[in-house]
Amino acid sequence: MAQQQDTPEFRLIGTFTRYSSWTARVETVLEYFQIPYTAETVQLSDARKVSKSGLIPLLESRSLGANIRINDSLAICEFLAESCPDLHLWPRDRQLRALARSAAAEMHSGFQTIRSTYHSNFIARYTGNIPITEQGRKEIDRLLTLWDESRKFTKARLAQLGEKDEGFLFGNFSIADAFFWPVLWRFRTYELPLDTAGDDALAWMATMWNDPAMRRLSSSYYRQAERPESRIAHYDDIFRGHEDIQRWNFARENHLTHRLTTFCRSAMSVTVGVLALQGAFYEHIQLLKQAAAGWSHSSQWDFIEVRTPQELERCDALILPGGESTTMSLVAARSNLLEPLREFVKVHRKPTWGTCAGLILLAESANRTKKGGQELIGGLDVRVNRNHFGRQTESFQAPLELPFLNTPGQEEASFPAVFIRAPVVEKVLPHHEGIQTGEVERDETIVAPSKSAKDAAARDAMATDVEVLATLPGRAAKLVASQGTAINPEKEAGDIVAVRQGNVFGTSFHPELTGDARIHSWWLRQVEESVKRRREIERR
């Protein structure tokens, strides 16, 4: 006998979700995951007519001739997760799944003061002297901390697993997000304080508000309000007698509390430019897009090609790609870009990353260069040795250990570094406020002109010490040994191939040619933190 297909039919019995957080949780799961179901809406006063316990929501499930009823929103969602395993209503990762279940359970049984004082009301807005008790404040702070810590752990865990982060509490949308959806609206309805909210909590809130599925749900609450029978006067008038509290309904568009609105606006505009005069600028932009799509962040990224001073002026951060450094500097000079680039890097100290030729341009000193042959931008107190490994035919790829990519408790795999006529950092120079005077008299060496950080944000981003982030062990020593000459012990320590000074970063190799977005992802995190810091200083 052929096995019967077990396709359950679901029917949700609940009250109007514009007031009911319990029904709204289940509805949110069904709608977000597009689980087919029918719905029956009843008045709260009629709950006992459909539920022996008088509690709703109920979920009816018909499967293989059996008809069962489940009440309690958490039990319903667990049943849906078991019934639809391919939809992954809980996170796939065991650690994240455990934390998601814990968070949902805490919301399900906790936060009693918030529940009893600030009833669910998805379309109302209360302003004025909203009462917040000491216990209420503790619960608000606990919610904000829970969201912030959940996001921090999730970002680290998904980075460790190399999986994409959609920005929800535990990566992809899950039952946990649905359980916090109604209480998230309470922050909007009652303008509850967000002063203790961390950026990760605020970023999650913005993700929820801006998700298309959640916006569709929001619209359904307003459609309910068009039906007079949906109104529950008690929930609309909970502050009756408080003349210092006003109530009205929000317009259909999502209005957020002031701080969240400010956060969303400020966090939605980070423009990263890639100098597009010559070299592998296209490859950088593709990896930047891949990196931004692969992790959660609180910013709206815009990646642009930079060929003019006007395009550079739009940028919050910049990449100088690999290519031919002499050609790039000459074209930049002819395009009236060279001085704006120096202002960007050395005066404003905006985040900048140079790869291969870009590292040469960012160096304060470069040898193997005839004076007048090319010009430098500067920004890194280092001397670079151009074409250190020889001609293009001697290019190579080598596995490189990059400790700065590691997350706590987890070491990253080696990075497939591509070296093409690559420079190395020959010497880390002492920091000078102006020009590197000690380098000026060296033969076949050019030095970047003097530029100094001026405004407070630039000085804050400045660092006097150069940090060595990666070396290529023994490469030069092996080349010397293969030619039958003595090995210099200093060479065996490895060639310096990645450095950072403040928010200026340089690599000898070409990450953009590998298809591996890990360094781009790491750098975007540095950019995001730097931009946030700059904006905070500028607002003071």
Residues labelled as active-site residues: 356, 510, 512
Task: Tell me 389's DSSP state.
Answer: T
Place of tokens 């921090």: 152
How many Å apart are CA 90 and CA 96, to the nearest integer? 9
How many Å apart are CA 272 and CA 509, to the nearest integer? 20
Place of tokens 């060296």: 442
Task: Tell me 393's DSSP state.
Answer: G
Is 77 in contact with 26 (CB distance < 8 Å)?
A: yes
Helix (H, G, I), strand (E, B) or coil at 33: coil
Using the Cα atoms of residue 241, residue 242, residue 246 and residue 247 in order, give the sign of their dihedral.
Answer: negative
How many Å apart are CA 524 and CA 276, to the nearest integer? 19
**CA-CA distances (angstroms) from residue 149 to 18, 104, 153, 165?**
29, 14, 6, 15
Residue 116, token pair as written in the block: 């009893």
Residue 326, token pair as written in the block: 């002499």
Place of tokens 């999650």: 204
**CA-CA distances (angstroms) from residue 161 to 22, 96, 151, 207, 406?**
34, 11, 15, 22, 12
Beta-bridge mates of residue 9: 62
Phi, psi for residue 483 in degrees, rounded to 5: -95, 5
Find, among 470, 496, 500, 457, the residue nearest to 353 by Cα.
Answer: 500
Place of tokens 């961390």: 198
How many Å apart are CA 140 and CA 111, to the nearest integer? 8
Residue 376, token pair as written in the block: 């430098």
